[in-house]
Structure 1
Amino acid sequence: MGIRAGIVVTGTEVLTGRVADRNGPWLADRLLELGIELAHITICGDRPADIAAQLAFLAAQDVELIVTSGGLGPTADDLTVDTVAGFCGRKMVLDTALEERITAILRKLVTRMPDLDFDAVRAANRKQAVVPEGATVLEPVGTAPGVVVTPLAAPTPTIVVLPGPPRELQAMWPAALATDAVQAAIAGRVHYRQDTIRMFGPAESALAEALRLAEAEIPGFAELEITTCLRRAELEIVTRYEPAAADSYDRLRAALCDRFGDAVYSTDGATVDDQVAALLAGRWAATAESCTGGLVAGRLTDRPGSSAYLAGGVVSYSNAAKSELLGVDPELIETHGAVSEQVAEAMAVGALRRFGADIAVSTTGIAGPGGGSAEKPVGTVCFCVAAPDQPPVLRTVRLPGNRSDVRERSTTIAMHLLRRALAD
């Protein structure tokens, strides 16, 4: 077994759901990159007894490293450092040099707030300069320093204490990783590989059956740590393995490609958004959306430099907007209904003309309750991908779920239709 680690996310605001945890997943990815096996992520409030209980639990799981986030501020409920010190058997001491560095940071901050009492602010933040004796101090990114604390007695693991704001935690992580204490704790790590396969179309049950067959047929299958996830209406298969099991993974990838064919659209981890962006290089796209409310345009622009290939988009809910903004013939809407392949095609062609694009994708459907009929129930969505001098690509589907589910799945379908049209 390689090096194991645990993460403790502290903060009553996170525990109660008022603030979403972004630190746990981010740290999990960083540990995985290092070849460290993540045993657990726990979340607890700001109560010292609960923090100590999480530390004790993880220590009992034979982890060599614990990373905590949150509880480093100047207020009375920020008690993570004190609790970690007690857990490691170390007393708290004032680091006067650190106090001066924090004071210098505060002076810069209060220049923007001339009415603030600097002495009161300094007194409140003095608490942040009290650290466990013998700890390695991680320089503040905001005003809160982090610390790396080693135990006075084995087998307590080394503990990295990081601030709660993700911007500060992420910026401080390289410094924590570079410390002698952390390097010593993770010295025995195994350099795992991780590969991702993405599929669009097959059901989870079909994938489960394929993996059962692979388990029986592929030597060394047990050495592959496989995680499957249904994400954005796609199946994501993430496999983590030691280099010695590379042949077993290659056999698994080949087996899935043979079984599911074109439904396997990515074996290198690239998302459909990545692939569409690459295929659009040098071309302009446009969007015309109704039920997806601009989410397709959002997917097309959610990356650096993406505005270089999105010519523009129209979100048109009302029939009048479809006619006025996209040039859809009102009689076409009257004859076939706003949710129809005919109107979807007219919307896509209208977006092509309006923005002078090379390709356009449209969506029109019934995502929410109260708008369906026996012929076109809620979840009915029509799509069109149009390009000059090419026949349109049309699709009508009926999607399960609530409004959010229908919109998310519709957006994914639109991206895949766009990908296939660009690749042809």
Structure 2
Amino acid sequence: MKSKRRLQTTFDIISIGYELLDGRILNTNAKWLAEQISGLGGKVCRIIAVGDEVGEISSVIKDSFRRKIDWVITTGGLGPTYDDVTLQGVAKAVGRKLVLNKRALEMVRKKYLELFEKGIVDSPELTPHRMKMAMLPRGAKPLENEVGSAPGVLLKFKKTRIVCLPGVPNELENIFEKRVKPLLERSVKKIHTADRWLLIKGVPESTLAPKIDDVRSRFPTVYIKSHPRREEGESIINLYMRIIAQNPRICRETLDKVEKIITELAEELGGVVSRLEGAPR
């Protein structure tokens, strides 16, 4: 039996660092990346946070391979310290050794020479800890980091591409926008999306829910999510609808049908329905 063809290019975001797991740091990198990927038409399937452990990193990457994810993006763990072990985890997942990458080493050398000339570091020497940032899985390509010292990394394993980015937000964003985004713009499947918000007053969510379930079964390509609240004792629902398709006309016509059906169902239940211009505040 053939697997169902995916309409969208799929992504897993793997955020690495104990500071994320114990609540010291808010995972703003994952949010930013998810926004960028979604804006390009990609689908983020999972956002996962793991600690600085080679086995944990390898395990979640292997799970992405098992699920045939198109792109895996890791954040954090590329620096010179003992607990920067992301590339060790990647190497274990793909079954390759870490090797000294000449291009990555040159990037690190130039960066520390620049930092030395600015008086930021005492020496431009390529110490073992600095050279560690140029040890990449065999076959990987370094991605220039214009802001910090650790290069990003690009690697292909079977049909999955792996991108490793630093955890420092401005470094991550620089490498993504300059080195990764152009690749994604060429490889992410071209799709069209459309969404709408409806404001429904006077119908409890529990009363409307069975009706929405029926609509979803008739239109499985449309994502429908209700956001209920109460104001002065009245039930209010902000209803979000979103569709993804290869044809913009299909998006528009399908949402028109779904909006009409939901409006009629809500009005039959005594509700008042209006369309919102953009997301509610």
Q: Pick the TM interval, shorter chain.
A: 0.7 to 0.9
- Give the Å deviation of 1:218: 8.0
- Give the Å deviation of 1:62: 2.1
Q: Secondary structure at the match of 1:170?
A: helix
Matched, 1:226 2:224: yes
Q: Evaluate the alpha carbon distance shift between residue 130 and residue 248 of structure 1 in structure 2; reply closer, same or farther with a 3 A threshold.
A: same
More displaced stretch, 105-114 vs 4-13: 105-114
Residues in 1 aligned to 2:153 and 2:226: alpha-carbon distance in whole angstroms: 36
For 1:127, the aligned partner's letter is K
Gaps of 5+ in 1: 273-424
For 2:276, the aligned partner's letter is S
Residues in 2 aligned to 1:198 and 1:69: alpha-carbon distance in whole angstroms: 37
Instruction: Give the TM-score normalised by structure 2.
Output: 0.77
The 5-angstrom pairing of residues 245-394 of structure 1 reads 245-254=251-260, 259=266, 261=272, 264=274, 266-269=276-279, 271-272=280-281
Q: Secondary structure at the match of 2:96?
A: coil
Q: Secondary structure at the match of 2:204?
A: helix
Who is 1:48 aligned against? Answer: 54
Q: Evaluate the alpha carbon distance shift between residue 36 and residue 53 of structure 1 in structure 2; reply closer, same or farther with a 3 A threshold.
A: same
8 Å Cα contact 2:40-2:185 kept in structure 1: no
- Give the Å deviation of 1:4: 2.0
Who is 2:170 aligned against? Answer: 167
Residues in 2 aligned to 1:86 and 1:218: alpha-carbon distance in whole angstroms: 42
Gaps of 5+ in 2: 1-5, 232-236
Who is 1:177 aligned against? Answer: 181
Q: Evaluate the alpha carbon distance shift between residue 121 and residue 14 of structure 1 in structure 2; reply closer, same or farther with a 3 A threshold.
A: farther
Runs of 4+ in 1 over 6 A off after TM superposition: none
Residues in 2 aligned to 1:29 and 1:6: alpha-carbon distance in whole angstroms: 13
Q: Secondary structure at the match of 2:132?
A: helix
Work out which of the residue numbers 93, 96, 106 in structure 1 matches 2:99.
93
8 Å Cα contact 2:79-2:150 kept in structure 1: yes
8 Å Cα contact 1:224-1:240 kept in structure 2: yes
**For the pair shown, which has the larger CA radius of gyration, 1 or 2?**
1
For 1:51, the aligned partner's letter is I
Who is 2:30 aligned against? Answer: 24
Who is 1:106 aligned against? Answer: 112
For 1:85, the aligned partner's letter is A
Residue identity (%) = 24
Residues in 2 aligned to 1:225 and 1:183: alpha-carbon distance in whole angstroms: 25
The 5-angstrom pairing of residues 192-203 of structure 1 reads 192-197=192-197, 199=199, 202=201
8 Å Cα contact 1:214-1:221 kept in structure 2: no
Instruction: Give the TM-score normalised by structure 1.
Output: 0.53
Matched, 1:61 2:67: yes
RMSD of aligned Cα (Å): 3.2
Q: Evaluate the alpha carbon distance shift between residue 238 and residue 44 of structure 1 in structure 2; reply closer, same or farther with a 3 A threshold.
A: farther
8 Å Cα contact 1:106-1:122 kept in structure 2: no
8 Å Cα contact 1:85-1:92 kept in structure 2: yes
Residues in 2 aligned to 1:118 and 1:220: alpha-carbon distance in whole angstroms: 67
| Higher RCO structure, 1 or 2 (CA under 8 Å, sep 6+) | 2
Residues in 2 aligned to 1:144 and 1:162: alpha-carbon distance in whole angstroms: 9
Who is 1:322 aligned against? Answer: none
- Give the Å deviation of 1:158: 1.4
Q: Deviations over 1:89-121 (max 9, x none)?
A: 33222233432332332333345656x532567
For 1:75, the aligned partner's letter is T
